[in-house]
Structure 1
């Protein structure tokens, strides 16, 4: 079934609108909207603060020219809806288009606009400054009645919590600084909502109106007054949809699971835990109470979140409210102390362990961290969770390798934002924390009460929530819900701890209130179980591997391939591999012992490696992760077809290493077709006269490889493809050799193999229609400069500059600036515009850093790469990169460095901008606005290289050395056939003359290159 859509283009405009921007008239403002205003009218603007009548046009654009250059916003209304053509015209005229305002209006930045061009656009009917009065919610000025105790106390003190939305494309750090400088203002946090930064502040209500004077502020409103409870956490960690709990609906509440709680005393008389049966196996909640009876607010609260149940669906019902608990106090901070406690709970049936405590005095991998790793390596069916410190830096023992480190999100409606948790990585560079759940103002059981609650905040509250989620995941497998999504005892199995861990981390979502994903703050994101667990009707399915325990695991160099079908690209493909590593050695600064890597190969041969992310998803052909015991691959729009998931024992230094895999998306686990691909990517270029060995891997899937069918098909200089044989190296690994090639040969190739049921398959999948290509030649380095020595760069500054300029900067320390005065690779120096303390920025004009000349004459191609940094600037500052071949300078990039940045590597093809001459130069131009606005820019690691090709000196295949490969040479090869020969008869340079040399000679037939 198909549908056809018709697009109708507009005709003439109404004549009455031809002069809409000629006259200047006043505004007609209405403080409240009438019933008619409920339907947006084209002659009004609808703000929360007021409805603005725009029936008469306001301000000819020439009247706003004097103020449009200032960093402020305007509202621009059209005579009808925005269209692609209108948007393109406005952008072409320099209008920066921001948020939409009904009706048909937009908040815009006109500071760089060609106002005469805009004025000539007949579809623009109204323009005016964005009024301060539009920035304030009526409610935030009038006040309201609050329900939560903390907000009531604030209100009584004349204080208010406000959310301040900033305009798009403003310097967030600068705006925050100016807002916090207001008397009585206390900064809370910043999150990104709908692409705009929202700053939460506590301040005097009487001063709220003053916020409207800030040019970066778009809107100020009262922050939500929400009671944060376990009842919200239950649906947040399942679906993030209010009261949508498919895990509970399927009958999974934690039944049959026991959670070990190491914390303060748990009040067993509280209604969340009490029972008429004595504590023990028959007790409804506590199977073992391993310390003398005591109560604490912290321990009771934690236990209530993990598994408490008062019998009512309210704040006194935990995440795994059908589970039971084994309870004990916090152990001594030693390896033996934690092992004793965990082993005791394990012996009492606990397989999930929650710990909301730690040692904030160290970041070292010490005996306490080692104790957790010892326990989990010895008990593969267990899962240990630990709350990350509430401080700013990740501490101990959450830095243990095998446990799950948990951070806390805000609660609804800000569950995508950070509440509290130390920032990773660990001291040795591993990713922690790993997962988040709500933990901000969580209401749970209160000790020394019969059935009351209390509110607490911290990672201590998030950790038991994830522990409860782990119990639900474990029950999912043990009750046989996998793979059908329905309970089936025939499918039941006991999952390993790594599988539960992998499933939890496969359920995570990016916390949009935190920049970057994944990151050292949010780890893999927040728990959303329904994203991983499959139930009937779900479009997102689950495939797992959990039959490789440590005793049967990999050794160094071993690898295992799994076939995975991706049945559609509409669901993201997420694959997580987890393993329990051998504990690190006592006294070792780096605890990593075994390195197992996750690799996924798409149907077209694109390779993804675990933990190599860019732009929020896995980057193709990235490098492997050598240190983490969790690796994840995420492809938002995966190719449909058969994927290969490969687990590689890269370095198994102790014992054998097991693992578990969880994959979710539009996936199924079989039967999978046979596939063929390169084990390692082919080189992009090879030197003339060189041969190229390719390692070819066949993944049989559920098929069987036909013997002798694995082949390399090669074409030289756009000739026909000719088959080249391969040599079998191991069961499914083969080697094929591209013979020596020379300048202009342009080798292209593809692979093929045949399965008994699959038939013939190719790599790339289109075979001869889309082969791989290798360039012949060499890149010669013209310049490789990390600025450790002086190599001819020049610095020029505008004479009007009041301070600053490009200078060779030092890395962090020595009194130099810490932002951004550290080079990009840690080697030492770089060029910076602001390398020292104090006001040394480049106020008031441009400063230019120019390279020496590069000689690209005679090059076939050329590239220049560089690392660049910019940030902490005024909105009118710019940073440009320009290139010249001796003539005019051509812009490569010109950015407005608004806000903080990081070092970024850029690579350009020189020929895309200028001719390849002997006088090519590149320069970096930092243009700073006046008034002492700090502009910081940096450049490091500049590499310039030219690509050329010179024919090989020898003529391979020319056995008789007469300067031409012809029939006589083929005859000569036959005379030495089967012998060892490193001369010209050995055309493929393998050391032995064989059939492949005859084939190579045919490719090279003709005169030898000069």
Structure 2
């Protein structure tokens, strides 16, 4: 309560941010969703003081400045997204950055005139506005994406993966391409994120997405070679749950301290051209466009965008300094048109590959599996369970399915979960 009379806590990596980062680092599937706050139209100090001094920027505080959470801004409803101008900022949503220049908020969601429950009775409903109305929407998106991923692949994404996926697939918002301190990475697009999940690591010759959970060892470099051709941008992102900082702010206004511990870097190279991730310029120039001409040393989500990609590109993930604990888990997300991977060294035999035929199929599929008694779930391209099948000879009847792309999953008698994708003609 004593902090409420001061402005130092705006943008501060304080004890609350540090504690929640520690919780997340020790629980890598835990993703807190935090409201950005509603201070941008405050008429009382310290909010009014901060607005007068910084024109609405540097207004997020507490847990919202943690590295490992997803901080949510509130925008008006977007009935039909056409371009960035379709996304209109609310009058109240607090803007970043954090004191060290990190991109906060992370993402935008409808938070104006949201139908909600009310406290007047057990059945009362009404319309409310605020970032606390926007953050539940993002929580729902996280839940649905995790459910969909589990339906297709029989496990869940780490927090860094689902967070990275949401930021990676956001619709552009704001005045400039790339992120900003008002909308974050843009307007959430759950459909794009779900499509990336659906198309990840496709077994066909080309795929439209890569989603991999990897580990970078100290003093090592990860590389992956891909090809991409088309009008959609090639987007390459890395996301990781960073350890808590060794210190936190206890009362200093706008310190220059950088709170990132394990500083990973991603770049994409084609011939002699390097493509770098987006980076904003901190409180010195919070309203300026982001740059993409150098490495990013503050954010634990980085995204490289390449417009109109043509040909072969090499993704490189490295790090600065020494990695705490000797390594850092990270998630790699790649989307684009006609995307295919070329790096044979990246293919790992997990023992969960499925051999089956024919594909495409008309009336049946036969699985090459030692187990003869299998319970199989079949999902359509949207993730809806459309059929279940029990086999005694590993032959699956498809006669009741319409034409399209499907995913099937089952568990062997040894408890190994397997899934595969097929086309019904």
TM-score class normalised by the smaller sequence: 0.5 to 0.7
1:654 aligned partner = 324
Q: Distance in 2 between matches of 1:455 and 1:651?
A: 50
2:416 aligned partner = none
- Structure 2 counterpart SS, 1:581: coil
- Per-residue Cα deviation, 1:115-167 (whole angstroms, up to 9, x for no partner): xxxxxxxxxxxxxxxxxxxxxxxxxxxxxxxxxxxxxxxxxxxxxxxxxxxxx
Given that 2:278 and 2:290 are in contact with CA atoms closer than 8 Å, whether structure 1 keeps it comes out as no
Given that 1:617 and 1:634 are in contact with CA atoms closer than 8 Å, whether structure 2 keeps it comes out as no
- Aligned residue among 48, 54, 75 for 1:409: 75
Given that 2:180 and 2:290 are in contact with CA atoms closer than 8 Å, whether structure 1 keeps it comes out as no
Stretches of structure 2 that go unaligned for 5 or more consecutive residues are: 40-55, 80-84, 250-256, 282-287, 348-425
Aligned positions of 1:435-834 closer than 5 A: 435-480=107-152, 491-512=153-174, 514-515=175-176, 517-534=178-195, 535=198, 541-548=208-215, 553-555=216-218, 557-566=219-228, 568-587=229-248, 589-602=257-270, 604-612=271-279, 619=292, 622-639=293-310, 641-655=311-325, 656-670=327-341, 672=342
1:839 aligned partner = none
Shift of 1:673: 5.8
- Structure 2 counterpart SS, 1:663: strand
Q: Distance in 2 between matches of 1:516 and 1:668?
A: 23
Q: Distance in 1 between matches of 2:338 and 2:213?
A: 17
Q: Distance in 2 between matches of 1:498 and 1:673?
A: 24
Given that 2:176 and 2:289 are in contact with CA atoms closer than 8 Å, whether structure 1 keeps it comes out as no
Q: Distance in 1 between matches of 2:234 and 2:65?
A: 28
Aligned positions of 1:206-355 closer than 5 A: none
Structure with greater contact order relative to length (CA < 8 Å, sep ≥ 6): 2
Q: Distance in 2 between matches of 1:434 and 1:561?
A: 27
- Structure 1 counterpart SS, 2:104: coil
Given that 1:408 and 1:439 are in contact with CA atoms closer than 8 Å, whether structure 2 keeps it comes out as yes
Aligned positions of 1:838-987 closer than 5 A: none
Relative to 1, partners in 2 of residues 1:508 and 1:596: Cα closer, same or farther, differing over 3 Å? same
Q: Distance in 2 between matches of 1:372 and 1:360?
A: 21
In the alignment, structure 1 residue 373 sits paired with structure 2 residue 21: yes
Q: Could you tell which deviates more after superposition, 446-455 or 500-509?
A: 446-455
* Higher Rg of the two aligned structures: 1
Given that 2:178 and 2:278 are in contact with CA atoms closer than 8 Å, whether structure 1 keeps it comes out as no
Shift of 1:609: 1.7
2:93 aligned partner = 421
Relative to 1, partners in 2 of residues 1:642 and 1:476: Cα closer, same or farther, differing over 3 Å? farther
Q: Distance in 2 between matches of 1:369 and 1:527?
A: 23
2:32 aligned partner = 384
RMSD over aligned Cα atoms? 3.1
Q: Distance in 2 between matches of 1:571 and 1:440?
A: 31
Relative to 1, partners in 2 of residues 1:371 and 1:474: Cα closer, same or farther, differing over 3 Å? same
Stretches of structure 1 that go unaligned for 5 or more consecutive residues are: 1-331, 335-358, 481-490, 675-699, 703-1010
Given that 1:596 and 1:629 are in contact with CA atoms closer than 8 Å, whether structure 2 keeps it comes out as yes
Shift of 1:385: 1.1
Given that 2:275 and 2:304 are in contact with CA atoms closer than 8 Å, whether structure 1 keeps it comes out as yes
The structure 1 segments of at least 4 consecutive aligned residues displaced by more than 4 Å after TM superposition are 612-619
Given that 1:554 and 1:649 are in contact with CA atoms closer than 8 Å, whether structure 2 keeps it comes out as no
Shift of 1:446: 2.2
Shift of 1:593: 1.4
Shift of 1:587: 4.1
- Structure 2 counterpart SS, 1:375: helix
Relative to 1, partners in 2 of residues 1:673 and 1:662: Cα closer, same or farther, differing over 3 Å? closer
- Per-residue Cα deviation, 1:567-590 (whole angstroms, up to 9, x for no partner): x22211122211111101234643
Shift of 1:667: 4.8
Aligned positions of 1:144-163 closer than 5 A: none
Given that 2:263 and 2:297 are in contact with CA atoms closer than 8 Å, whether structure 1 keeps it comes out as yes
- Structure 2 counterpart SS, 1:454: strand
Given that 1:360 and 1:395 are in contact with CA atoms closer than 8 Å, whether structure 2 keeps it comes out as no
Given that 1:361 and 1:395 are in contact with CA atoms closer than 8 Å, whether structure 2 keeps it comes out as no
Given that 1:360 and 1:396 are in contact with CA atoms closer than 8 Å, whether structure 2 keeps it comes out as no
1:802 aligned partner = none
Shift of 1:618: 7.3
Given that 2:213 and 2:332 are in contact with CA atoms closer than 8 Å, whether structure 1 keeps it comes out as yes
Given that 1:543 and 1:667 are in contact with CA atoms closer than 8 Å, whether structure 2 keeps it comes out as no
Shift of 1:610: 1.8
- Structure 2 counterpart SS, 1:465: helix
Relative to 1, partners in 2 of residues 1:361 and 1:415: Cα closer, same or farther, differing over 3 Å? farther
Given that 1:573 and 1:636 are in contact with CA atoms closer than 8 Å, whether structure 2 keeps it comes out as yes
- Structure 1 counterpart SS, 2:246: coil
Q: Distance in 1 between matches of 2:28 and 2:305?
A: 26
- Per-residue Cα deviation, 1:243-280 (whole angstroms, up to 9, x for no partner): xxxxxxxxxxxxxxxxxxxxxxxxxxxxxxxxxxxxxx
- Structure 2 counterpart SS, 1:478: helix
Relative to 1, partners in 2 of residues 1:673 and 1:401: Cα closer, same or farther, differing over 3 Å? closer
Q: Distance in 2 between matches of 1:445 and 1:517?
A: 35
- Per-residue Cα deviation, 1:560-615 (whole angstroms, up to 9, x for no partner): 1122231x22211122211111101234643221100111123x342112225899
How high is the TM-score relative to the length of structure 2?
A: 0.64
- Per-residue Cα deviation, 1:699-720 (whole angstroms, up to 9, x for no partner): x767xxxxxxxxxxxxxxxxxx
Q: How many residues align?
A: 299
Relative to 1, partners in 2 of residues 1:545 and 1:618: Cα closer, same or farther, differing over 3 Å? farther
- Structure 1 counterpart SS, 2:194: coil
